[in-house]
Chain A
Amino acid sequence: MPEYSVIGKRMPRIDSAAKALGEAKFTADLALPGMLYGKVLRSPHPHARILNIDTSRAEKLPGVRVVVTGKDAIPYKWGVFPYTRDYQLLPVDRVRYYQEEVAAVAAIDEEIAREALDLIRVDYEVLPAVFDAEEALKEGAPQLHDDKLGNVSVRIFVDEGDVEGALAASYLVQEDRFSSPEENYCQTEPYAVLANFDSSGLDIWCPNAGPHMKARPLSTALGLPTSQVRVRKVFIGGHFGGRSEISPADFIASLLSQKARRPVKLVYTREESFNCVRQVHACSMLLRTGVDRDGKITAVDTKIIMDGGAYASTGPIAGSVAYLMWEETYRMPNLRYEGIRAYTNKPPRGMYPHHPRVAFAGLEMHLDALAERLGMDPLEMRIRNAVSEGYVTPTKTVIHSCAETETMLKAAEAAGWKEKRGKLPPGRGIGMGCGAVISGFPMGIRGGSAAFVRFNEDGDVTVISGVVDNGQGNDSMIAQIAAEELGLSVSNINLVTADTSVTPADQGAYSQSSTLLSGGAVKEAAADAKRQLFEVAADMLEAKAGDLEARDGRIYVRGAPDKYVATAKVARTALSRNHTILGRGFRWPTVDPKRDWISNPRGQIASTFSFGTAIAEVEVDQETGRVKLLSMIAAHDCGTPINPMAVEQQMQRSAVEAGPQAVLLEKHIWNKGQNLNANFLDYWFPLSVDVPRIEPIIVTSNETFGPFGAKEGGLSITVAMVGAVANAVRNATGVSITELPFTPDVVAKALANKGGQVQ
């Protein structure tokens, strides 16, 4: 790696001090003069026709300013894709899940708003409901959407090569059925919206993963030009895939504000945050994996059924993730994948980094089982099947920079794999898993990022970018990139980000493309500004622009560092010559524009990929089934780390999301369509005492597309650690447990049944 000034350096994030001081303001912390408080009335039925809503008594309650129902909204069904438009953000005639929105109130204080809800009379005609995906797909099941026969939200089908033939010819085949119930995002910040509608349009503050992604649907739903919907910058308390889409809360708060002509703040309870934004799919999966005598995968065949809840959300993407991650992690010449996302009368389900957990636990447990049957070290199995630079996947994606094998070796060394695997005392186990993650997938006209770099009068810089920071450190990332490119220090960089009134469009913080595209656009913009600076500096130094460099706040002639001028001075000089230094740049993913999730799942899916290997060690109490995590190690190929501390943070978060959360602890339980554990007492969110230290290992590779060779920072571990912990438990118990999460009762049952288990 070349010698950079700030790239590759560990540094605190630029907004950490504000957060440590308690100054950082999240949506619920904001207030505007004349602000009203909103509350939402919710359906007590999981499936019902709305016959009539009488809001007259609520409207008359002193302190209530406005009451809205679906009838107050423009008829509009939203969807992430044109072919998934099924979501009326405030239902008019039908509710499809328990606690779905039915009406809303804005009042001068919260208590009055809450009282007003009790005064709204709704007449429902209760309809039969269905709560299980497989049941929903059967003939005769209650239909959720009149235009989606059989409750099929999305069907993804990929069939490359000759899977049946390859399996028949395989030396060994492993077949299992895996299942997992719903999970949830549990962002520490409950959902909240502040909307302010006036004659200039709408200003809205809300958690998001891409303000531009919220502006467009809001504008359509409210009947406003998109340019008059301004999604503003705010501190966001986590997203993890659950806040990227427009939420009914966004729309309802905006509608209330539109009708009341006053700011409206709508803050969700934790229960509402669990149930009324997004959840994570429950899944069941049938998986067949074949290998040859050398342990090389011959074919992977799967059918996965996902419980999507009442609306489509990001269905096509969520339904594709499993096979995409598989084929980018391991060579598999033959691949067949059928993913069916079903509608049920439950809250809508969205994207989540490690999901579906059955897919990653399942394939990894299969590889361990097959390795065992072959008498092969699971590490050796992974190495033999690893992808590498230049590999072309079954669906015709080319892998670019890739240090996957190195992550395997480094993780194994740090974990003491060879010393431990097969040699631990009874009840202890060690397991590994690998994963790959896409960076920058096709998103049509909204798939790219653009940025401006502006030099200010004092020589400091303001970077204007649509990138959003949910806590993963994106703001700091682009500040470091701009600083490096311009030869300044991070303290010279100011930011205006994630504000649709000012910042150019950005693809948003999903598809792991913030570093690649948002960072890439900022680098381009900075380079453009630098070119303009160099023109002026060349004149001042009587040198050629092409011979100049920028570093440490100076512009100097390459090879003659004494011949320099302060960058700030150049910027001022430019102004004195009536020239404003203003750089611009944009970056789009290099993907196959003809690739489509459903109709054409073939072609380059992403500009690049990151890779990781995780290893976990556990101890299982053989009587109670309780699993204790002893250690977790993660090695991740991020190309070049912009800020190693930030990459480590992402890796550690990913490890806890994948291991303790997905494999060991988290699930929702239901009764008659009602969520029984929409709280942190019965939904087992890992505590500080539930996890060990996570040891992160950063691996570099020769990435050419990402800015300074950087790829996404850490998410491969959300895939890899699922397999690692699942395999560690498998190693400790001697059983492939096929029901996630491995809560003590599940493990105890598996241990009790061990005698009859087919390995």
Chain B
Amino acid sequence: MPDHKTLLEVLRVDLSLTGAKEGCEDGTCGTCTVLLDGWPVRSCLLLAAEAQGHEITTIEGLSDGERLHPVQEAFVNYGGIQCGYCTPGMILTSKALLDRNPSPTEAEVREAISGNLCRCTGYTKIVESVLAAADGTGSTVNT
């Protein structure tokens, strides 16, 4: 594998895992987010060779067959998804937050996702989805 390939390229092209997206050239948008040993990283700013030996979690690895991970479920049930382009990165970042901090405040949620740009939602329902995943109410539709 050529030295200059980023983790993002290897995921998308060589492994056909297109859940991680390309959205910018400077590490600002967060659509390429994957988890490296449980931490959100910009896969576009990590060389594939540097990722070797670490545990990488992509969005495809979150669900159990057809069963959605609780964070995925909450996003679906609480309207945290519109066009879906920021969604994989947003969900992984949220999952990583809840693994470290199971009961975050709204401010902590917003800070955790401050590196994930979303143009469609205005962030309100994303925050509500994460909080619902945290308190267990995310498994049913938000009525």
Contact = CB atoms under 8 A, between A and B. Distances in A.
A270 B25 contact: yes
Contact of A691 (B81, B88, B123, B142): B123
Given A12-B141, A190-B22, A688-B110, A680 B117 contact: yes
A681 interface: yes
Contact of B83 (A189, A269, A648): A189
Dominant secondary structure at the B interface? loop
A148 interface: no
Q: Which of A20, A31, A185, A656 has the most CB of B within 10 A?
A: A20
Interface residues of B, number: 58
Interface string B101-143: 0000010011101111111111111110000000000000111
B125 A20 contact: no
B48 interface: no
A676 interface: no
B72 to A, nearest CB: 4
A38 to B, nearest CB: 15
B22 A28 contact: yes
Contact of A22 (B18, B106, B125, B143): B18
Contact of B114 (A26, A190, A238, A687): A687
A471 interface: yes
Contacts of A269: 25
User: How many of chain A's residues touch chain B, expressed as a range?
Assistant: 35 or more
B103 to A, nearest CB: 18
A13 to B, nearest CB: 7
Contact of B143 (A10, A16, A681, A693): A10
B35 interface: no
Given A19-B81, A20-B87, A26-B21, A188 B118 contact: yes
A390 B106 CA distance: 45
A171 B16 CA distance: 69
A16 B81 contact: yes
Q: Which of B73, B79, B91, B113 has the most CB of A within 10 A?
A: B79
A656 B142 contact: no
A189 B23 contact: yes
Contacts of B125: 648-649, 652
B122 A652 contact: yes
A73 interface: no
Interface string B1-25: 0000000000010001111111111
A509 B3 CA distance: 44
A269 to B, nearest CB: 6
A371 interface: no
7 contacts: A23-B19, A29-B18, A188-B23, A646-B79, A688-B113, A688-B114, A693-B106
Interface of A: 10-13, 15-26, 28-29, 31, 185-190, 235-238, 240, 267, 269-271, 470-473, 645-646, 648-649, 652-657, 679-681, 685, 687-689, 691, 693-694
